[in-house]
Structure 1
Amino acid sequence: MTVSRTALVGAGLVALYTGAIAAADGITKLVAGSYAAPQLFALSSGLVILLSLGAARKSGEGLRVRSRGAMALRSVLTVLAAIGFFQAFRLLPFADVFLFIALVPAVWAALTVGVVGLLCLMPAGRMTFDIGHLWALFAALTGTGSMVAARYIARVERVPLAQVFWPNLAVMICMGVALPFVWQPMPLADLGWVAAYALFLFAARWLSVEALRLLPAYVATPLMNLQFVWMVAIGWFGFGELPGAATLLGVTLVVGSSMWLVADEALLPARRTAQA
């Protein structure tokens, strides 16, 4: 596959990923008001595991990995991020959570701009986080760590289905321990939402692994900001939430800071060549 075609395929996978993960997040927010996190994640992770096993059997792709330490770290971080995002979507407006998803600090100047963007969310001008913002920040940090581990594994070996299977197995086991204490009967419609969540999550995680394998981070990161557009649309049509001026300003600053970071990374080889 040529470089240009690889880039186009990678960009297309990122676009599909943003739509799938935004849809899964929307279902998370819908379910979060009625059920505890273990009930959603234990059931959906079990379905994702079945999908992974079926896809692996059909494709002949194995689920064993050589990077066991990195996979264990990714699995733990995925569990923590799932809990964090569940609580964040339960407590915050849908589009507001995106500011934390988009904030990936790496250098102080860009981090400062990103923090200013986060402060735009503070209600009534207060300069403190609500509990929902703390959950969102926790989820963003652990989710970022999980993606970094995924990219490391993808560079060492190509096992996209294993990268979906093992983190979801960890989620199912952890949530399954708590499930008997929080279980509530679910009508057929809600079970359908859980199944849809599992399908979107399976697709999103597989697409993200493949996209990160094909594209460097400085190309993939700006494209992933498309997720905000999906989240605004779902928040508007699904929950009647329209982002205010403060949220839009915050998103502009956070996305701008992330683009600053990726532009700096993209130009780094040219600067090194010039210095040499």
Structure 2
Amino acid sequence: MHFTQEQRDAWHADTRNSPFNRWLRDHTVGPDGLLNLDSLRSVAAEFGVDAEKYAHLNAGQQRMNVGNRLRRVVPRHVYDPGSNQMDAQLIRPPAPIPAATEHAPSDWPFMVNATTSDLLRMQAAAIEELRRRGVVRTGNAPLGDYAEHLFARAFHWKLTPNSATSYDAENGDGIRFQIKARRLRTEAPGERQLGVMRALPDAGFDYLAAVLFNRDFSVRRAALVPHATVLARAVHVRHVNGWRFILDDAVWLLEGVQDVTSSLRSAADALNEGVVSGASRDLI
């Protein structure tokens, strides 16, 4: 590829001395003016970029490839503190998802240019940090664990071991709860179908504790549904050998169902603020 002198001058003026490149040079170039590959790998590791995959390239190509990857994931306030603001990509309100599209714009613009491997690593890293904080209990997709954490936090329930199959938590009186959650992204009817429940007639739980999250993971609605009500409305699906339950708005109108939306929202707010939630004791 051939670059004209004009193009080289433009790159030197506009790109080479950009806040990001100045920051990266400060962390990777030694006093002798030469690139320190160990420093480059250290910076890459800090932000979850695998620099080793470029180790077969020469030093300049390694710097170019790793730098391009870092540019996508390093928040602006890290390399440009003079901006006096967090990266706009990270603080702007989520954009509403278009109703009928398979490839909707991401709420986090830097993800658009990330590779599949980058996204998987970001998800894994996020889940590990959530597990370290005690918000989730497994290395799986965090929605179910997050719902369990919110219910337990709101009502002081004790979560059961992960191996328990019929219920997820119990209160001080021994009442058992199976906890289910769904995240609504497109408003499609099928999104309100909860996960399959096994051996439902055996009454392995006393109440279904169910929560619907909005696309941004805020709590939309939550309810405690008696087992008998779940059994009456659930449909057995033979090929999965389980029962499916649709958490539509009519459920909140059924006798015996308790609306616990405000309690779950308070627990979520307290968790995000980093303070201990005040438990709700006026319900189960």
Greater Rg by CA: 2
TM beyond 0.5: no
Which structure shows the higher strand fraction? 2
> Normalized per residue, which structure has more helix?
1
Give TM-score scaled by structure 1 length.
0.21
Greater relative contact order, per chain length (Cα 8 Å cut-off, separation 6+): 1
